[in-house]
Structure 1
């Protein structure tokens, strides 16, 4: 994960329409499918970027998945109240400005501001510490929903690594009238501009289908790594029952979540296309769940 790429972007001006609940020990933002939906198509759990479950962009994304895909969408507080502070977005904008002498005078202040948010976040939420929290939530969710409910994970930036780890085959044992059996925690994964990935090592361990949305200008998962991701995903397609890699020309890190949808038409289009990619993939894989 690099700074500043993971802390750049824009805030969505829209208003979320879901509600907050407590589920399996965590606070959760819940977005439901349209009221006229007769049967939900499955559950999608968003594992967010560094700004966490309260970031309005992540909640708006949950609303879109629910309304457009017909899913129950859950956005848990996997960071337990210690997500990256939103002031880092403004601090990064200030750090990148170089147009005036004043921009250079105040730059050290904003660099210190960035570091004061970045360093604690990384120490608290590196994958070795955070993944057990994520896996525990998914395990409890699978236990409560049973083996026949389609469950997907959608991970962005920080959440992308966790989605891929779940797709390595994390499972739980479910007892039923006919005995117990091991059941995967998720049936499908989607990740946009993931961080922390080891390529190709993390991709080679996939046993659950994952859809990747990658930007060719991403400075975290760089363009030179994309062919290796694609090669492994395509080679494992029959083994895992699906999987895909879509590359978005002109897209940098954060394009799925933190696009400037108000002032940049191209950014808005790429974000919308990534939403459609995720929704279509989940619908396609969920339809196969028995």
Structure 2
């Protein structure tokens, strides 16, 4: 497995608006927190643009309001925040960004333990708890949903354009799975899409697969209104995730 991000991950469109949440701590990680539900929570695992990216925080606000949940967006890059303007408008291969070193510092084996730990804290606190991840967060939510965790760390997962995902991650998932899959994606390849679609059905957990024709990797957080169909895909992806989350919470909140 090669630890690389596609350059399109790092070119974002900033939504209008100011995030409504606040900064807190979760298992020693600085964390954006939004929503106040004491019974159900969502762990939102950011993409390459990090936990401070405005789009990601506004997306967390949408989940908190529309799924009536408390949403956490921890910093999983060890306090490192790249210049958002360089990431959005620049070349990800620019030596100033030094992305190879950044990716090494934030590789799967480096960040997985703290991702698991934050999930354990939320699992112990909330009646219902799920994880949503984009790009970097995509492999992570599959690992949170792996059958090795007894009892389960999460009640469900949503993965959008996952990066660094392996067939083994897919084979070992044991909780309800939602996948948001853009058509154009060099890292969530047609082979991985097919493996996901076929394997999760065989595992027998609830499965919700959404295909987004004509749009590319990173569309669900980038939402670039200059790219045909991308803003619509972002909104559709958000709505799909909210619907899935509310379905997963139904046994705790039968009125939903």
Structure 1: distance between partners of 2:227 and 2:38: 33
Q: Which residue of 1 aligns with 2:116?
A: 135
Of 235, 248, 254, the match for 1:285: 248
Counterpart CA distance in 2 for 1:83 and 1:164 is 25
Secondary structure class of the residue paired with 2:221: coil
Aligned to 1:160: 138
Which residue number in structure 2 is paired with residue 183 of structure 1?
Answer: 151
Quote the offset at 1:225 in angstroms: 2.8
1:12, distance to aligned residue in structure 2 (A):
2.3
Q: Does residue 180 of structure 2 align to residue 213 of structure 1?
A: yes
The separation in 2 between residues aligned to 1:70 and 1:40, in whole angstroms, is: 10
Aligned counterpart, 2:238: 275
- Which of 14, 32, 36 matches 2:35? 32
Q: 1:8 to 1:223 in 2, by over 3 A?
A: farther
Structure 1 stretches of 5 or more lacking a match? 34-38, 96-109, 172-181
For the 8 Å contact 1:5–1:219, the answer to whether it is kept is no
SS at match of 1:113: coil
The CA deviation at 1:24 is 2.5
Partner of 1:216, secondary structure, is strand
Q: Is the 8 A contact 1:217 1:223 kept in 2?
A: no
State the SS of the aligned residue for 1:78.
coil
Kindly provide the CA deviation profile for residues 138-190 of structure 1, in whole angstroms up to 9, marking residues without a partner as x.
11222233xxx11010011001111000110354xxxxxxxxxx532100000
Extract structure 1 runs of 4+ deviating beyond 6 A: none
Q: Which structure is larger by alpha-carbon Rg, 1 or 2?
A: 1
1:225 equivalent to 2:192? Answer yes
Where does the alignment leave 5 or more consecutive residues of structure 2 unmatched?
none
Determine the C-alpha separation between the residues in 2 that align with 1:3 and 1:24: 30
The one of 91, 113, 126 equivalent to 2:107 is: 126
CA gap 1:59/1:170 in 2 versus in 1, 3 angstroms: farther
* Whole-angstrom distance in 2 between the partners of 1:168 and 1:235: 15
Offset at 1:282? 1.3
Spell out the pairing of 1:42-61 with structure 2 (5 A cutoff): 42-61=40-59
Please state whether the residue corresponding to 1:212 is helix, strand or coil: strand
Separation in structure 2 between the aligned mates of residue 84 and residue 286 of structure 1, nearest angstrom:
35
Provide the residue aligned with 1:179 in structure 2.
Answer: none
* Aligned residues of 1:88 and 1:113 also touching (Cα < 8 A): no
